[in-house]
Amino acid sequence: MTVALPAVLNSEWTKIRTVSSTVWTLAIALIATVGFGAGFCALISSAFDSMPEIERATFDPTLMSFSGMQFGQLAMIVFGVLVVSTEYSTGMIRASLAAVPGRGSFLLGKLTVATALALLVGLTTSFVAFFVGQAILGEHGIGIGEENVLRAVIGAGVYMALLALFSMGVATMLRSSVASISILIPFFLIVSNLLSGFEVTRKYGQYLPDKAGSKIMQIVPDAMGRGETPYGPWGGLAIMLLWVAAAVLGGYFVLKNRDA
């Protein structure tokens, strides 16, 4: 029996919007990113004139608006995990696969709906964070019509959606919310920052999905002490896409070859 893709999409949309935890994690992603970004922008605005000259020369007001992303992205990771793992923890996965025997169609429908929703929330978050941050920065801010700014703002929203999709792929492989979150949160919050924080490991850390993908948000190459990389904004996004593709393909092969 083949189930039409529109029916699968409608079913997945119903699942997502009726589970309060997934809705709340998206709300937290927006609030945390905008809130922390606004706070950091306020601090920088008040201390800008006392900053070292090199820091003022490489100041990236657009990236500063997204300084709360490190906190908001954690909620987006949890969203991606819960979209997949909730079905396993409740046992609903067996009913879902009985209704949609084609596992490829089932996974495609789930990832499509959840990624589209994450993209919508991500873009809303990035635009709100940008305009709030620039309003707080005042004379140190920048307009959205300036060169590369719109690319950075849209890129920030795309980055959040890709992060959620990557998390969905990992959760499909692990089939457990506890295992997935226990791996992903430390990976992005601790491992990634540690590898990027030391000169000897930075050449490896810069190729991790979050470090590479977040390059799309920058308009000043070496802004805020991030240092130069062998790739630009689009190269960084391409690296992140490879990570996402690997996670999704891994999830598909596990789903296809293992029992529910």
Cβ partners under 8 Å of residue 67, min gap 6:
36, 37, 40, 41, 133
Domain range enclosing 246: 5-257
Q: Give the pLDDT confidence of 175-217 residue by residue, as tens digits.
A: 999 999 999 999 999 999 888 878 788 888 899 999 999 999 9
Q: Taking the CA atoms of 189, 173, 180 and 154 in sequence, report the sign of the dihedral they define.
A: positive
For the chain, how far is it from start to end, CA to CA, in angstroms?
A: 18
Cβ partners under 8 Å of residue 144, min gap 6:
130, 131, 150, 153
Number of domains in the chain: 1
Q: Give the pLDDT confidence of 135-144 residue by residue, as tens digits.
A: 999 999 999 9
Please give the C-alpha separations between residue 172 and each of 95, 115, 117, 180, 186, in angstroms, as whole numbers: 16, 14, 18, 9, 18
Q: Give the pLDDT confidence of 85-137 residue by residue, as tens digits.
A: 888 887 788 888 878 878 888 899 999 999 999 999 999 999 999 999 999 99
Structure tokens at 111: 């990832």
